[in-house]
Structure 1
Amino acid sequence: MKLFSAAAALLAAVPFTQAYWKGFNIAAENPDGSCKTQAQWVSAFHKLSSLPGHFTSVRLYASSDCNTLALAVPAAISTGTQLLVGVWTQDDGHFKREKDALESAIKKYGQDWIIAISVGSEDLYRKETSAGALATKIYDVRGMVRAMGVKKDVGHVDTWTAWVDGANTEVIKASDFIGLDAYPYFEGSSIEGASNAFWSAIDRVRNVVNQVSPGKWVWVTETGWPVSGPKYGNGVASIKNAQTFWKQVACAAFKQVHIFWYVHQDYQASPSFGVIDRNGNAIYDQQNC
C-alpha cells in the first residue's frame, strides 16, 4: 500500500472543494515600475479576496527585491492571505539576499503565512544554470528553513518543456513539489484547443515526475490567457479569449490541482495577462467556479 505524506493526509481531510490552493501571481512592482508599499500590498490582497472566488492565496516571485517579504508578509497576515514564496537564484549575491530576507521574515513572523517556497523560476528554461547547481540551491534553502523548524515544501518553478528534459531530473529529485508554468497561448494554440494543450502539459510533467520521484505533486504556478498583445501562431489575445480560458481551464483546475493564475496586474505589458485594470476593476469575470 502506498503511504501518504502528512500534507496529502491533511488535504484528504479537507472538503473536496477546499482541498487545493487557488490564487494569483502578484509582482512586487506596480505597473509603473515603482515598488509596492505595504498599503498597496494590503490593497492588492483585499482586491483578490473581493473577487467572486475569494482568493486568499498569492504567489510571489522574490523575497528581497522591493523588500517583498518585509512588506508583503505583514500585509498578508493582516488580510488572512497566504503566500507561495519565491527565492531568486541568480546570481550568488542576489541569492544570498533572498535567503537573508526569507530568514528574517520567518524569524519575525513565524511560518503560518507560508504555503511553500519556490527556489528559482524558469532558470532551466532560460538555461541560466545547470540542474546540479539549481538542485544544490534547493537543498540549501530547505536546509536553512528546516533548521528554523519550518516544515513547508521547498520546490522549483519551470516550464513543462524543462521538466520533461531528461537533463533536469536532479531538480525533480531535489524538489518537494514541481511548479509548472503552462501557457497554451505561447505554444501557438487556438483558444479552442487551449484546454487540451493545458492538461496535456500537466500530464507530460506528471508522467516524468512519477518515473523520477513518484508521489510528488505537480502544481500549476503560472497559467492564463492575455487580454491584449500579438498573435502567437493560432493564439489570439483578447478579453473574450481570456474569459473563455478562465471558464474552460480555471473552473476545472481549481478542483484538481494547486494553481496560481497569471497575473494580478500588468496593464503596460505586451502581451498583457492582467486581470485587474489601472483603476482596480476586473477586466473579465473571475467567477466563483
Structure 2
Amino acid sequence: MAKVYDVRGYLGSVGVTTPVSTVHTWVNIRANPALCGADFVGANAHAFYDGGRTSGQAGDFVFKTVVPALKAACPGKKVYITESGWPSRGGNNGVAVPSVADEQNALLNLNCANRDDTSVSVYAFEYDDQLWKGNDNERSFGIFGKINLGTAFAPC
C-alpha cells in the first residue's frame, strides 16, 4: 500500500487527481483489509479456482460470494472485478471443468449476473490465450477467436 500512497501523492503533486489502487485476488483482500486503503478495490475473482462451482455458477460466485465479502472488508469502496473468466483447457478443479463451452457459459453467466448489480464493474479475462504461462488452465482464458461472442455476451 505504501506504493499506492506514493503514487497518489506524486500524482497529486503534479495536479493529477485520478483514483489509484492495486489489484489482488479477492481472498487476499478479504484476508488483508489493509489493502482497502486505495481509492477503489481491484480484485481478481475466478469461480474456476474455487473448485466447488460450475461454469453456470460463475456469476453467482462473483455477485453472491465475492462482492459481498469485498464490500464487508472494504466498506464504502467502489469494487472492480478486474479479472474473471474460465479456462478452456487443462485439468479439472473439483467440479470446475475447463472447456470452450464452459468458458462461453461462464462469460454469459457473469454477464447476466452483472445485469442485476451494475454498481460493480467486471472485466472478462483475457483477450487471447497466453501460451507462456505455466499450465494449460492458466494459458487458456483467452476469449477472442475461440468463443462465439454473440452467445457469450447475449442478452440475458
Asked if Structure 1 and Structure 2 have the same fold, meaning a TM-score greater than 0.5 normalized by the shorter chain, the answer is: yes
Name the residue aligned to 1:190.
54
Q: SS at 1:222's partner residue?
A: strand
Q: What root-mean-square deviation, in Å, do the aligned CA atoms of Structure 1 and Structure 2 show?
A: 1.8
**Alignment partner of 2:4 out of 134, 138, 145:** 138
Q: SS at 1:154's partner residue?
A: coil
Matched, 1:201 2:47: no
Name the residue aligned to 1:126.
none
Aligned counterparts of 1:224 and 1:150: Cα–Cα separation in 2: 33
Name the residue aligned to 2:89.
228
Aligned counterparts of 2:59 and 2:77: Cα–Cα separation in 1: 23
Q: SS at 1:176's partner residue?
A: coil
Matched, 1:237 2:59: no
Deviations 1:154-183 (A, max 9, x none): 011111211111xx232212x000001101
Letter in 2 for 1:227: S
Q: Contact 1:265/1:274 (CA < 8 Å) preserved in 2?
A: yes
Name the residue aligned to 1:163.
29
Aligned counterparts of 2:29 and 2:17: Cα–Cα separation in 1: 24
Query: Percent of counterpart pairs with the same letter?
Result: 28
Q: Contact 2:48/2:86 (CA < 8 Å) preserved in 1?
A: yes
Matched, 1:259 2:125: no
Aligned counterparts of 2:112 and 2:16: Cα–Cα separation in 1: 32
Q: Contact 1:155/1:178 (CA < 8 Å) preserved in 2?
A: yes
Letter in 2 for 1:181: N
Deviations 1:237-266 (A, max 9, x none): 011111111111123326612222110012
Name the residue aligned to 1:106.
none
Q: Which fold has the larger relative contact order, with Cα–Cα distance below 8 Å and residues 6 or more apart in sequence?
A: 2
Pairwise CA distance, 1:150:
1.4
Letter in 1 for 2:7: V
Aligned residues: 144
Aligned counterparts of 1:287 and 1:196: Cα–Cα separation in 2: 16
Q: TM-score, normalised by structure 2?
A: 0.83
Name the residue aligned to 1:111.
none
Q: SS at 1:197's partner residue?
A: helix
Q: SS at 1:186's partner residue?
A: helix
**Alignment partner of 1:274 out of 142, 145, 152:** 142
